[in-house]
């Protein structure tokens, strides 16, 4: 067993997944090909009643190059004797209102969930590495984020009924390339990753190297440490939010969310914002256009609703109407009758 495979077995023990169907997301790039080869080697060595399956999504944004990646992944899977599910994007202009990257990501994850359902998979695995994590954290810092954003992407999260896992989050990109060289495995190069048109690429190719050269050679490790610490803090906040959510939030008629102001009036504003975000999520209302200013304004309404003379009403992104009066903040889609 190679050092890379041994490390993967330690971070993602085959005993946890060998008896279920696991769907690996494989783009053809170095990271996902390394995950495929290492997971296949571990499965071969450890056995188990489950199986590996591969999902490749062709975004159709790079013409013949994208088709070549699809063919490469299909051929690799055929050589390894692993089933390969292929999806192809049909993105329309309306789908890209939030940007090409966001639309492509949404389409990709929808395909992964659909493929997992067809194949009976319990787990979906993606090949995000420690370098990806550091880039994500730095990207969020530049764009503006809170404690939860500083934690980066989680090792495990739910994608519908499926658990999405990221087994390579402790692996540096150099380890990936060394492993592929060791086993003589080639991979595809996505030329769009070189384009300066995308913020993520500029962070990877310009900002991070400049920070490492001029400020801190260990900047990636520093960002990863920040992410771990932020994750620890967010776990404490989440436990406080859960307890407060149970005490102060209820559902009303016509899909309304009711927040009892007396329960949040004396709480730290940060905690109130987190409670409102959690309540918003339970209603499955759109989050993308809600920034710090909007959450803070909503938190102020919730905390001031206990004041006898206070009565406020405001429409928030996603056409969510909020009204605060008589000790209650009521939130509800604006097109519906506003009932308690």
Whole-prediction pTM value? 0.87
Query: Considering only CA atoms, which of 156, 179, 131, 122 is closest in space to residue 8?
Result: 179
How far apart, in whole angstroms, are the C-alpha atoms of residue 171 and residue 129? 5
- Tokens linked to 237: 């906040």
Residues 6 or more apart in contact with residue 210 via CB below 8 angstroms: none
How far apart, in whole angstroms, are the C-alpha atoms of residue 325 and residue 318? 22
Architecture of domain 252-333: 2-Layer Sandwich (3.30)
Is the pLDDT reported for residue 33 higher than 60?
yes
How far apart, in whole angstroms, are the C-alpha atoms of residue 295 and residue 316? 9
| Domain definitions of the chain by residue range | 3-214, 252-333
Q: What's the pLDDT tens digit per position in 83-134?
A: 999 999 876 655 555 577 778 888 899 999 999 999 999 999 999 999 999 9
Q: How confident is the model at residue 140 (pLDDT cuts 50, 70, 90)?
A: very high
Question: What is 3-214's CATH number?
Answer: 3.40.50.620
């Amino acid at each position: 067993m190679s050092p890379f495979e041994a490390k993967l077995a330690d971070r993602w023990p085959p005993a946890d997944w060998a008896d279920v169907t696991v769907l690996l997301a494989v783009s053809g790039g170095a990271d996902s090909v390394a995950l495929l080869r290492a997971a296949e080697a571990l499965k071969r060595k450890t056995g188990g009643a489950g199986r590996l399956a591969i999902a490749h999504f062709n975004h159709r944004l790079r013409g013949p190059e994208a088709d070549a990646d699809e063919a490469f992944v299909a051929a690799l899977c055929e050589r390894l004797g692993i089933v390969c599910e292929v999806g192809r994007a049909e993105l329309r202009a309306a789908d890209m209102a939030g940007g090409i990257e966001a639309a492509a990501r949404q389409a990709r994850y929808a395909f992964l969930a659909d493929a997992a359902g067809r194949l009976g998979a319990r787990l979906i695995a993606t090949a995000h590495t420690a370098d990806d994590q550091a880039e994500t954290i730095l990207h969020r810092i530049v764009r503006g984020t809170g404690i939860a954003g500083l934690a980066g992407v989680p090792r495990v999260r739910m994608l519908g009924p499926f658990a999405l896992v990221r087994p390579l989050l402790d692996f540096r990109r150099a380890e990936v390339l060394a492993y592929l060289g060791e086993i003589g495995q080639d991979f595809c190069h996505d030329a769009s990753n070189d384009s300066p048109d995308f913020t993520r690429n500029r962070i990877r190719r310009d900002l991070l190297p400049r920070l490492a050269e001029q400020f801190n050679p260990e900047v990636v490790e520093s960002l990863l440490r920040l992410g771990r610490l932020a994750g620890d803090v967010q776990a404490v906040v989440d436990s406080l939010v859960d307890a407060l959510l149970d005490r102060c939030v209820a559902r009303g008629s016509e899909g309304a969310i009711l927040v009892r102001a007396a329960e949040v009036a004396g709480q730290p504003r940060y905690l109130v914002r987190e409670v409102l975000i959690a309540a918003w999520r339970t209603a499955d209302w759109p989050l993308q256009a809600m920034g710090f200013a909007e959450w803070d304004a909503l938190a102020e309404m919730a905390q001031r609703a206990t004041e006898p003379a206070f009565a406020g009403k405001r429409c928030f992104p996603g056409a969510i109407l909020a009204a605060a009066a008589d000790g209650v903040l009521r939130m509800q889609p604006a097109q519906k009758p506003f009932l308690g």
